[in-house]
Amino acid sequence: MTLLSVNTPTEELRRVDAAHHMHPFTNNSELEDKGARIITRAEGCWLSDSEGNRILDAMAGLWCVNIGYGREELSQAAARQMSDLPYYNTFFQTSHVPAIALSAKLAELAPGDLNHVFFAGSGSEANDTNLRMVRTYWQAKGQPERNVIIGRWNGYHGSTVGAMSLGGMKGMHAQGGIVDGIEHIDQPNWWLEGGDMSPEEFGLERARQLEEKILELGPDKVAAFIAEPVQGAGGVIVAPDSYWPEIQRIVDKYGILLIADEVICGFGRTGNWFATETLGLRPHIMTIAKGLSSGYQPIGGSIVCDEVAEVIGGVEFNHGYTYSGHPVACAVALENLRLLEEEKVIERVRDETAPYLKQKFEALVDHPLVGEAKIVGMMGSIALTPNKETRAVFAAEAGTVGFICRERCFSNNLIMRHVYDRMIISPPLVISKEEIDILIERARQSLDETHAILREKGLM
Q: Which residues form the interface with ligand PMP (CB under 6 A)? A: 62, 122-124, 127, 156-158, 228, 232-233, 261, 263-264, 289, 300
- Shortest distance (Å) from residue 94 CB to ligand PMP: 25
- Shortest distance (Å) from residue 127 CB to ligand PMP: 6
Residue 333 near residue 327 (C-beta atoms within 8 A): no
Pick the closer one to ligand PMP by CB: 138 or 156: 156
Q: Please, is 448 exposed, middle or buried when counting C-beta atoms within 10 Å of its C-beta (0-12, 13-18, 19+)?
A: middle
Pick the closer one to ligand PMP by CB: 227 or 308: 227
Phi, psi of 260 (to 5 degrees): -95, 115
- Shortest distance (Å) from residue 261 CB to ligand PMP: 4
* The 300-305 sheet, strands edge to edge: 114-120, 300-305, 285-288, 257-261, 222-227, 148-152, 182-185
Question: Which residues contact residue 179 at a Cβ distance below 8 angstroms, ignoring those fewer than 6 apart?
Answer: 131, 161, 162, 165
Pick the closer one to ligand PMP by CB: 194 or 298: 298
> Which residues in 234-257 are b (16+ Cβ under 10 Å) and which e?
bbbbbbbebbbebbbebbeeeebb
- Shortest distance (Å) from residue 163 CB to ligand PMP: 6
Distance of alpha carbon 317 from alpha carbon 139, whole angstroms: 11
Residue 424 near residue 407 (C-beta atoms within 8 A): no
- Shortest distance (Å) from residue 63 CB to ligand PMP: 6
Pick the closer one to ligand PMP by CB: 156 or 244: 156
DSSP per-residue letters across 91-103: -TT---HHHHHHH
Q: Are strands 148-152 and 222-227 parallel, antiparallel or unpaired?
A: parallel
Pick the closer one to ligand PMP by CB: 168 or 386: 168
Pick the closer one to ligand PMP by CB: 159 or 445: 159
- Shortest distance (Å) from residue 451 CB to ligand PMP: 30
- Shortest distance (Å) from residue 155 CB to ligand PMP: 8
Question: Which residues contact residue 89 at a Cβ distance below 8 angstroms, ignoring those fewer than 6 apart?
Answer: 320, 322, 324, 325
Q: Which residue is nearest to ligand PMP (CB)?
A: 123
- Shortest distance (Å) from residue 247 CB to ligand PMP: 16
Pick the closer one to ligand PMP by CB: 60 or 308: 60
Pick the closer one to ligand PMP by CB: 157 or 406: 157
Pick the closer one to ligand PMP by CB: 57 or 228: 228
Residue 256 near residue 232 (C-beta atoms within 8 A): no
Among 59, 63, 23, residue whose Cα is nearest residue 261:
63
- Shortest distance (Å) from residue 267 CB to ligand PMP: 13
Pick the closer one to ligand PMP by CB: 117 or 370: 117
Report the amino acid identity of residue 386. P
The H or E element containing residue 184 is: strand 182-185
CA angle 251–276–193, rounded 5-degree value: 70
- Shortest distance (Å) from residue 233 CB to ligand PMP: 5
- Shortest distance (Å) from residue 60 CB to ligand PMP: 12
The residues pairing with 22 across neighbouring beta strands, listed in sequence order, are none
DSSP per-residue letters across 264-321: TTTTTTTSSSSHHHHHT---SEEEE-GGGTTTSS--EEEEEEHHHHHHHHTS------
Pick the closer one to ligand PMP by CB: 264 or 329: 264
